[in-house]
Amino acid sequence: MPSAFGRFLREFRTDRSLSQGELAAKLGVKSATLCDLERGRRTPSPERVQRIAAVLNVAERPLLEMALSDLLRRRRCLYRVVLEPVASAKQTTGADDRR
């Protein structure tokens, strides 16, 4: 599922008729990395967001906010899928990690 950051990146690129390869070259990343960012498979580091903002000549803060929001959403999903069932199982079995 595309992230907010990924949707922005893809729309920006397509509005300017750039291929993934062309934008990736401008950003100094591989096309596969740009593809992963657009599809929401990766969340960019703050340093990468700064680079993207500079290359695209856009404000950095909204991009950082989108990337952070996507990261937090991904972490909440991970918690619901992985950690909640584990915590629930411990409660029902009375398992305790204290030793």
52-64: per-residue pLDDT in tens? Answer: 999 999 999 999 9
Beta carbons of 89 and 95 less than 8 angstroms apart: yes
The alpha-carbon radius of gyration of the chain (Å, integer) is: 18
Domains of the chain, residue spans: 4-92
What's phi and psi for 41, nearest 5 deg? -80, -20
CA separation for the pair 24, 65 (Å, rounded):
22
Beta carbons of 55 and 26 less than 8 angstroms apart: yes
Q: Which of 38-47, 77-86, 88-97 has the highest mean pLDDT?
A: 38-47
**pLDDT tens digits for 1-51?**
678 899 999 999 999 899 999 999 999 999 999 999 999 898 899 999 999
Q: Which CATH architecture has domain 4-92?
A: Orthogonal Bundle (1.10)
- The whole-angstrom distance between residue 6's C-alpha and the CA centroid of its chain comes to 7
pLDDT of residue 84 exceeding 80, the answer is: no
